[in-house]
Amino acid sequence: MVSRRRFLVSGIGGMAAAPLILPSGLLRAQSPSARLGAAVIGVGSRGSGHCQAAVQLRQFQLLAVCDVFRSKAEKVRDWVENAYAEERKTGAYKGCMVTQDFREVLARPDIDVVFIATPEHWHGVQMAMAAKAGKDVYGEKSLTHTVREGRALVDTVRRHGCVFQAGTQQRSDPKFRQACELARNGCLGEVRQVHVGVPGGRGAAAAGVWPVEAPPADLDYELWLGPSQWVPYRRGMCSYQWYFVSHFCRGWLPSWGVHHLDIALWGMPELGRGRVEIEGTAEYFQGTADVAFAWDITVTSASGLQLRFVDDAKSPGHGCRFTGSEGWVHVDRGRIQASDPALLERHPGPGAIRLQESTHHHADFAQAVLSRRDPVAPVEACHRATTLTLVADIAARLGRRLTWDWETECFPGDETASRMLGRALRSPWAVY
């Protein structure tokens, strides 16, 4: 028996030998049955964006949308079916399933890929279950809620041959790739400091204790809680405020931090090897919201390379900056700058390190699925970046300097800190 995805790989123009960057509209002339069957699990702001990309790119045929808020899923389903009806010029299209239970999505053999954009306490479980079900995964970040879940997910993804694209989409922006190649190839001289600044979410969460009330009628609250411990529903908690409740997320320290720390590690991989020292401070919300909203963390490698990770109220602000003996380069989503503009004109010579190229994160994922190669943002890279945010938070919460060992993924000789690397999951959910 040949799987549907394998049939598509062999049937769409020998994609394994195609260029890494997909031409726009590659599958526009293909019938819907010749596209990759896709589903989106979690259709809030990020998930809705994945739905739009899947419909517009045409490498995918969106067959299902899932959300524990049924009204959200139905609204997105209506948009999807209207878009496909317009494409077919038939005036009507019915073919996108709605469900509140993601297990119904994973059970469908015609779904090849899933985009998972649920709250972060669900990531490890749902992504591992998708890999075990034979799906390829586009997984939002932070990758997992704990370090141990991240390690289990990486192992599961590799064991089941899953193609996994992490939602660290800055890797598909040429500005970030340029900054990292300048840093890695000595174009800035010897890089001895990296600075990362991201939003802290200072004004995003309401102070105090949020009122307990009945969950909305169209919400499956038990399924929303999933593997996390049971807590009563509180106003607004399941729509956006979950970002600031540590049962469900560690706050913007990881959720925003993972983006630019991923770039820091892409440009200076030494920060993700061997043993590093971590120390710093953070300020935390008090009440229902209990995550950090301001922080100043320093990570130092064995050679003395230093990473300073802060909320972006602190200088030099938002983005990632590599500082070398001959100048600095600073990159964020708006622009790339340098201490001397001439640094941006430097081109690494023969034999230089060239990072994987992508100019469109979703198209790169489609190409990776069809060619069975790693995409530009593989699962291991997002695990390292997520881990760095989580161990930074642990160091700040404990208020002392910690040693982190990347090889064993533990704090050597520190049982208190090491216990904070995992959590108990509610039955029947598991990542392993």
pLDDT tens, position by position, 302-350 = 999 999 999 999 989 899 999 999 999 999 999 999 999 999 999 888 8
Q: Find tokens 């969106």 and name the residue.
A: 62
Longest CA pairwise span in the chain (Å):
66
Q: Which residues of the chain have pLDDT under 70?
A: 1-33
Q: Find tokens 């008090």 and name the residue.
A: 286
In whole angstroms, what is the distance from residue 393 CA to residue 257 CA?
A: 11
pLDDT digit string, tens, across residues 157-177: 999 999 999 999 999 999 999
User: How is the chain split into domains, by residue range?
Assistant: 4-171, 173-354+379-419
Report the CATH architecture of 4-171.
Answer: 3-Layer(aba) Sandwich (3.40)
As a three-state string, the secondary structure of 204-271 is CCCCECCCECCCCCCECHHHHHCCCCCCCCECCCCCCHHHHCCCCCCCHHHHCHHHHHHHHHHHCHHH
Q: Global pTM?
A: 0.93
DSSP summary character for residue 69 = B
pLDDT digit string, tens, across residues 349-407: 889 999 999 999 999 999 999 999 999 999 999 999 999 999 999 999 999 999 999 99
Q: Please give the CATH superfamily to which domain 173-354+379-419 belongs.
A: Dihydrodipicolinate Reductase; domain 2 (3.30.360.10)
Q: What is the pLDDT of residue 206?
A: 76
Q: Which two tokens stand for residue 22?
A: 């997909």
- 411, 403 in Cβ contact below 8 A? yes
Q: What is the pLDDT of residue 18?
A: 33
